[in-house]
Amino acid sequence: MFKPLKALVHGDAGTRKSWLGASAPGPRLVLDAEKGSHFARRVREDGSTYIPHALVWDPHYALPDGITEDTTVIVKANGLEDLELGYRVLAAGAHPFRSVIVDSLSDFQLREKRRLTEQSGQDVTGQREWGILLDEFIDICQRLMDLCDHPTTPLVAVVVLSGSVESKDGKMRPMVQGALATRLPGYPDLLGYTEVVVNPLDPSEAVGRMHFRNGMGWVAKDRTHFLTEEFPQGYMDSPNIEKILHIMNPPEEQ
Protein backbone atom coordinates (compact mmCIF):
# COMPACT_ATOMS: atom_id res chain seq x y z
CA MET A 1 0.00 0.00 0.00
CA PHE A 2 1.33 3.41 -1.01
CA LYS A 3 2.43 5.58 1.92
CA PRO A 4 1.82 9.34 1.43
CA LEU A 5 3.84 12.09 3.07
CA LYS A 6 2.34 14.46 5.64
CA ALA A 7 5.02 16.99 6.51
CA LEU A 8 5.54 20.19 8.46
CA VAL A 9 8.82 21.89 7.57
CA HIS A 10 10.16 24.95 9.36
CA GLY A 11 13.23 27.12 8.93
CA ASP A 12 14.47 30.68 8.63
CA ALA A 13 13.86 32.74 5.50
CA GLY A 14 16.18 31.78 2.66
CA THR A 15 16.64 28.14 3.67
CA ARG A 16 14.92 26.91 0.47
CA LYS A 17 11.63 25.79 1.96
CA SER A 18 9.75 26.92 -1.15
CA TRP A 19 12.20 24.94 -3.28
CA LEU A 20 11.40 21.92 -1.15
CA GLY A 21 7.70 22.46 -1.82
CA ALA A 22 8.39 22.72 -5.56
CA SER A 23 10.01 19.26 -5.45
CA ALA A 24 6.65 17.63 -4.63
CA PRO A 25 5.06 15.55 -7.40
CA GLY A 26 2.93 17.47 -9.87
CA PRO A 27 0.49 18.72 -10.60
CA ARG A 28 0.99 20.58 -7.32
CA LEU A 29 -1.22 23.17 -5.67
CA VAL A 30 0.51 25.93 -3.71
CA LEU A 31 -1.59 27.93 -1.26
CA ASP A 32 0.79 30.86 -1.25
CA ALA A 33 0.62 33.58 1.38
CA GLU A 34 4.33 34.31 1.08
CA LYS A 35 3.97 35.31 -2.60
CA GLY A 36 7.26 33.69 -3.57
CA SER A 37 6.19 30.47 -5.30
CA HIS A 38 6.73 31.92 -8.78
CA PHE A 39 10.47 31.79 -8.09
CA ALA A 40 10.66 28.30 -6.53
CA ARG A 41 12.86 26.02 -8.61
CA ARG A 42 12.93 22.29 -9.19
CA VAL A 43 16.25 20.44 -9.40
CA ARG A 44 17.00 18.04 -12.25
CA GLU A 45 18.99 14.83 -11.77
CA ASP A 46 22.09 16.53 -13.23
CA GLY A 47 21.87 19.25 -10.56
CA SER A 48 20.60 22.02 -12.83
CA THR A 49 17.43 23.87 -11.86
CA TYR A 50 14.36 25.21 -13.63
CA ILE A 51 11.15 27.02 -12.73
CA PRO A 52 8.21 24.70 -13.47
CA HIS A 53 5.20 25.70 -15.54
CA ALA A 54 2.97 27.83 -13.32
CA LEU A 55 -0.64 28.98 -13.45
CA VAL A 56 -2.44 31.33 -11.08
CA TRP A 57 -5.86 30.26 -9.85
CA ASP A 58 -8.59 32.10 -8.01
CA PRO A 59 -10.41 29.33 -6.08
CA HIS A 60 -13.69 31.25 -6.42
CA TYR A 61 -13.69 30.08 -10.05
CA ALA A 62 -13.05 26.88 -12.02
CA LEU A 63 -9.55 25.47 -12.32
CA PRO A 64 -7.51 26.95 -15.21
CA ASP A 65 -6.89 25.04 -18.43
CA GLY A 66 -3.45 23.78 -19.37
CA ILE A 67 -2.48 21.93 -16.19
CA THR A 68 0.26 19.39 -16.96
CA GLU A 69 2.04 16.77 -14.86
CA ASP A 70 4.66 19.36 -13.90
CA THR A 71 2.41 22.38 -13.40
CA THR A 72 2.43 24.40 -10.21
CA VAL A 73 -0.99 25.98 -9.66
CA ILE A 74 -0.66 28.97 -7.35
CA VAL A 75 -3.40 30.45 -5.21
CA LYS A 76 -2.32 33.94 -4.16
CA ALA A 77 -3.89 33.49 -0.77
CA ASN A 78 -4.55 36.31 1.66
CA GLY A 79 -5.98 34.45 4.61
CA LEU A 80 -7.87 31.57 6.11
CA GLU A 81 -10.77 31.96 3.65
CA ASP A 82 -8.51 31.09 0.72
CA LEU A 83 -7.19 28.02 2.56
CA GLU A 84 -10.78 26.92 3.11
CA LEU A 85 -11.76 27.49 -0.55
CA GLY A 86 -8.77 25.47 -1.75
CA TYR A 87 -9.61 22.69 0.70
CA ARG A 88 -13.21 22.46 -0.53
CA VAL A 89 -12.08 21.87 -4.12
CA LEU A 90 -9.63 19.20 -2.98
CA ALA A 91 -12.17 17.52 -0.70
CA ALA A 92 -14.70 17.32 -3.56
CA GLY A 93 -12.20 15.12 -5.40
CA ALA A 94 -12.67 16.54 -8.92
CA HIS A 95 -9.13 17.89 -9.34
CA PRO A 96 -5.82 16.78 -10.92
CA PHE A 97 -3.50 17.52 -7.99
CA ARG A 98 -1.12 15.05 -6.43
CA SER A 99 0.48 17.41 -3.92
CA VAL A 100 -0.49 20.45 -1.86
CA ILE A 101 1.91 22.94 -0.31
CA VAL A 102 0.97 25.62 2.25
CA ASP A 103 3.55 28.43 1.96
CA SER A 104 3.69 29.47 4.63
CA LEU A 105 1.59 28.94 7.74
CA SER A 106 3.46 31.71 9.55
CA ASP A 107 2.42 34.22 6.87
CA PHE A 108 -1.20 33.06 6.96
CA GLN A 109 -1.30 33.67 10.70
CA LEU A 110 0.33 37.08 10.39
CA ARG A 111 -2.15 38.13 7.69
CA GLU A 112 -5.13 37.02 9.75
CA LYS A 113 -3.78 38.70 12.88
CA ARG A 114 -3.30 41.94 10.93
CA ARG A 115 -6.84 41.71 9.56
CA LEU A 116 -8.36 41.21 13.02
CA THR A 117 -6.24 44.01 14.47
CA GLU A 118 -7.35 46.41 11.74
CA GLN A 119 -10.98 45.47 12.29
CA SER A 120 -10.86 45.95 16.06
CA GLY A 121 -8.30 48.75 16.21
CA GLN A 122 -6.30 46.97 18.91
CA ASP A 123 -3.93 44.05 19.44
CA VAL A 124 -5.97 40.85 19.22
CA THR A 125 -3.47 38.53 20.92
CA GLY A 126 -5.26 36.71 23.74
CA GLN A 127 -8.70 37.83 22.68
CA ARG A 128 -11.51 35.34 22.14
CA GLU A 129 -11.64 35.97 18.37
CA TRP A 130 -7.93 35.23 18.04
CA GLY A 131 -8.31 32.01 20.02
CA ILE A 132 -11.14 30.87 17.76
CA LEU A 133 -9.03 31.69 14.70
CA LEU A 134 -6.10 29.62 16.01
CA ASP A 135 -8.45 26.65 16.44
CA GLU A 136 -9.56 27.13 12.83
CA PHE A 137 -5.95 27.04 11.64
CA ILE A 138 -5.39 23.78 13.51
CA ASP A 139 -8.54 22.35 11.96
CA ILE A 140 -7.72 23.33 8.36
CA CYS A 141 -4.16 21.97 8.62
CA GLN A 142 -5.44 18.67 9.95
CA ARG A 143 -8.11 18.44 7.25
CA LEU A 144 -5.56 19.18 4.52
CA MET A 145 -3.32 16.38 5.77
CA ASP A 146 -6.31 14.05 5.95
CA LEU A 147 -6.69 14.49 2.17
CA CYS A 148 -3.89 11.92 1.84
CA ASP A 149 -6.61 9.43 2.82
CA HIS A 150 -9.29 10.78 0.46
CA PRO A 151 -11.46 7.84 -0.73
CA THR A 152 -11.30 8.69 -4.47
CA THR A 153 -8.52 11.25 -5.07
CA PRO A 154 -5.88 10.84 -2.35
CA LEU A 155 -2.94 13.21 -2.33
CA VAL A 156 0.56 11.74 -2.25
CA ALA A 157 2.00 14.68 -0.28
CA VAL A 158 0.78 17.54 1.89
CA VAL A 159 3.61 19.85 2.93
CA VAL A 160 2.99 22.73 5.34
CA LEU A 161 5.85 25.25 5.46
CA SER A 162 6.56 27.60 8.33
CA GLY A 163 9.16 30.04 9.52
CA SER A 164 11.19 29.26 12.63
CA VAL A 165 11.50 31.02 15.95
CA GLU A 166 13.80 30.38 18.92
CA SER A 167 11.86 29.21 21.96
CA LYS A 168 12.71 29.59 25.63
CA ASP A 169 14.71 26.35 25.62
CA GLY A 170 16.97 27.73 22.88
CA LYS A 171 15.60 25.47 20.15
CA MET A 172 14.21 26.58 16.80
CA ARG A 173 10.53 25.65 16.51
CA PRO A 174 7.80 26.34 13.94
CA MET A 175 6.91 30.04 14.03
CA VAL A 176 3.23 29.71 14.82
CA GLN A 177 1.24 31.12 17.70
CA GLY A 178 -1.05 29.86 20.41
CA ALA A 179 -2.16 26.24 20.57
CA LEU A 180 -0.73 25.64 17.07
CA ALA A 181 2.79 25.74 18.50
CA THR A 182 2.19 22.69 20.67
CA ARG A 183 -0.54 20.79 18.80
CA LEU A 184 0.41 21.10 15.12
CA PRO A 185 3.80 19.28 15.28
CA GLY A 186 1.95 16.16 16.45
CA TYR A 187 -0.08 15.78 13.24
CA PRO A 188 2.53 15.25 10.49
CA ASP A 189 4.67 12.16 10.06
CA LEU A 190 7.69 14.32 9.23
CA LEU A 191 8.74 17.45 11.09
CA GLY A 192 11.73 18.93 9.32
CA TYR A 193 14.05 21.82 10.09
CA THR A 194 15.87 23.47 7.19
CA GLU A 195 19.12 25.41 7.00
CA VAL A 196 21.72 26.25 4.36
CA VAL A 197 25.19 24.72 4.82
CA VAL A 198 28.45 24.44 2.91
CA ASN A 199 28.32 21.65 0.34
CA PRO A 200 30.50 18.85 1.80
CA LEU A 201 31.47 17.86 -1.77
CA ASP A 202 32.26 21.41 -2.95
CA PRO A 203 33.17 24.03 -0.29
CA SER A 204 32.51 26.82 -2.83
CA GLU A 205 28.79 25.96 -2.93
CA ALA A 206 25.95 26.03 -0.45
CA VAL A 207 23.20 23.42 -0.21
CA GLY A 208 19.92 23.16 1.62
CA ARG A 209 19.81 20.69 4.49
CA MET A 210 16.75 19.29 6.25
CA HIS A 211 17.08 17.78 9.71
CA PHE A 212 14.48 15.19 10.73
CA ARG A 213 15.90 14.27 14.13
CA ASN A 214 15.85 16.47 17.22
CA GLY A 215 19.10 18.38 17.66
CA MET A 216 20.68 20.72 20.18
CA GLY A 217 19.23 23.73 18.39
CA TRP A 218 16.03 22.59 16.67
CA VAL A 219 13.00 20.34 16.94
CA ALA A 220 12.39 17.67 14.30
CA LYS A 221 11.03 14.14 14.00
CA ASP A 222 10.68 11.25 11.55
CA ARG A 223 7.70 9.12 12.48
CA THR A 224 8.05 7.17 9.21
CA HIS A 225 11.53 5.89 10.25
CA PHE A 226 12.32 5.46 6.53
CA LEU A 227 14.43 8.63 6.38
CA THR A 228 16.23 7.73 9.60
CA GLU A 229 17.16 4.36 8.11
CA GLU A 230 18.30 5.92 4.82
CA PHE A 231 20.15 8.82 6.46
CA PRO A 232 21.32 7.69 9.93
CA GLN A 233 23.15 11.01 10.41
CA GLY A 234 19.70 12.58 10.90
CA TYR A 235 19.63 14.97 7.96
CA MET A 236 19.20 15.06 4.17
CA ASP A 237 21.14 17.43 1.94
CA SER A 238 19.30 18.95 -1.06
CA PRO A 239 16.01 17.56 0.32
CA ASN A 240 13.47 16.49 -2.27
CA ILE A 241 9.86 15.43 -1.68
CA GLU A 242 9.78 13.03 -4.62
CA LYS A 243 12.95 11.34 -3.35
CA ILE A 244 11.47 11.08 0.14
CA LEU A 245 8.36 9.41 -1.30
CA HIS A 246 10.55 6.92 -3.19
CA ILE A 247 12.39 6.11 0.05
CA MET A 248 9.08 5.62 1.87
CA ASN A 249 7.74 3.41 -0.94
CA PRO A 250 10.55 1.13 -2.17
CA PRO A 251 9.77 -0.75 -5.41
CA GLU A 252 9.80 -4.13 -3.68
CA GLU A 253 6.84 -3.04 -1.54
CA GLN A 254 4.72 -1.82 -4.45
Average pLDDT over residues 143-168: 96
- Could you write out the three-class secondary structure of the chain? CCCCEEEEEEECCCCCHHHHHHCCCCCEEEEECCCCHHHCCEECCCCCEECCCEEECCCCCCCCCCCCCCCEEEEECCCHHHHHHHHHHHHHCCCCCCEEEEECHHHHHHHHHHHHHHHHCCCCCCCHHHHHHHHHHHHHHHHHHHHHHCCCCCCCEEEEEECEEECCCCCEEECCCCCHHHHHHHCCCEEEEEEEEEECCEEEEEEEEEECCCCCCECCEECCCHHHHHCCCCEEECCCHHHHHHHHCCHHHC
| pLDDT at position 124 | 65
What is the amino acid identity at position 157?
A: A
| pLDDT at position 147 | 98
Structural domains of the chain, count? 1
| pLDDT at position 178 | 73
Residue 114 has pLDDT above 80, yes or no: yes
pTM of the model: 0.93
Average pLDDT over residues 56-77: 95
| pLDDT at position 246 | 96
Ramachandran angles phi, psi of 64, nearest 5°? -70, 155
| pLDDT at position 40 | 86
Write out pLDDT tens, residues 194-235: 999 998 878 889 999 999 999 999 999 999 999 999 999 999
Domain containing residue 214:
5-253
Of the ranges 25-39, 123-137, 182-196, 229-243, the best mean pLDDT one: 229-243
Average pLDDT score over the chain: 91
What CATH number corresponds to the domain at position 156? 3.40.50
